[in-house]
Amino acid sequence: MKMTFRWYGEDDPVTLDKIRQIPGMTGVVTAVYSVPVGEVWPVEDIQKLKADVQAKGLEMEVIESVPVHEDVKLRRGDYQRYIDNYKENIRRLAKEGVKCICYNFMPVFDWTRSQLDYELPDGSNALVYYKDQVAKLDPTKLALPGWDSSYTPEEMAGLIKDYQELGEEGLWENLKYFLEEIIPVAAECDVNMAIHPDDPPWPIFGIPRIITCEENLDRFLKLVDDPHNGLTLCSGSLGCAKFNNYAAMVRKYAGMGRIHFAHVRNVKIMDDGSFEESAHYSPCGSLDMVEILKAYHDAGFKGYMRPDHGRMIWGETGKPGYGLYDRALGAVYLNGIWETLEKLDQK
């Protein structure tokens, strides 16, 4: 297992100098953020990003993410050009030593939360998803960090309507077409494609979502049954739903060699199915981190792992969910569990 850390480039207040001081950190997960969704990343931008990372003694083997254009998900307009551009991005990243690309196929909205700075009882601030708050949101005016902010409210309303008309089966068909196009290129370049589950893993605002549960993950992997077609298994996304057993999913899919990237964090699930993001430490949430890490360890997981969203603690401010301190604590906590499991194996 390789422990990594999300880094948002030179404008990220969490610098590479800070990240490299985290014990056990091997590299960063990053991307070229200056290029519009769907366009080809300039080779010089990729090379500069890699040089900046390597200059600090870190690796850049995982890209999160190469976003998929909405026209591809809807299979309309200029979708084939965007797919061809996607293939070229895979080739260019592979030439610079990238071995894993994380992406998602979530319609319109990426990860969704109802509040970004909810104050927990200990005084820290966290991302939360309260169902009663989400029900009152206007999706045409909603914006969260990392989303494509180029759409007007009118364009957003049109997108939502288009996806509602497309439906789940239409989305499945479009995902299949996309995979049939890109996975042969990924296999040729020996790059593992790792789809991120929907976050949260249920429909929102009447829009279909399909990467949500074990049954659908099985269906996804069979769309193009190639080892390069794999998963970013996120404990926060899948684990926030009571119908998912994340540790069991780890045992199953890691055993198949189809988990290429692991996002590991804790969430506290409420009685009504809402959830709060918590510290990684097991007693702070509803997930058993020791059980989860043991599932990865027992399956012989050799891929990449990162601590996922963290709280804002000790007065830190910055990108919601992506401060330094709580994620660093999470990384060291996860590495500590892993070290213990490794040493128990040696006895």
Which residues carry out catalysis? Answer: 196, 234, 263, 308-309, 322
The continuous run of DSSP H or E covering 190 comes out as none
Structure tokens at 26: 């091997």
68 φ/ψ angles, rounded to the nearest 5 degrees: -95, 125
* Length of the chain measured in residues: 347
Strands (E) located in 241-298? 259-264, 267-269, 275-277
Q: Are 169 and 135 in contact (CB under 8 A)?
A: no
Structure tokens at 176: 């299949």
Q: Are 236 and 199 in contact (CB under 8 A)?
A: yes
Burial class (CB within 10 angstroms; exposed 0-12, middle 13-18, buried 19+) of 307: buried
Q: How many CB atoms lie within 10 A of CB 343?
A: 9
**In the chain, what is the greatest distance between 2 CA atoms, to the nearest angstrom?**
63
Bridge partner residues of 207 (DSSP) = 204
Rounded-to-integer distance, Cα 61 and Cα 59, Å: 6
Residue entry with tokens 């990108």:
319
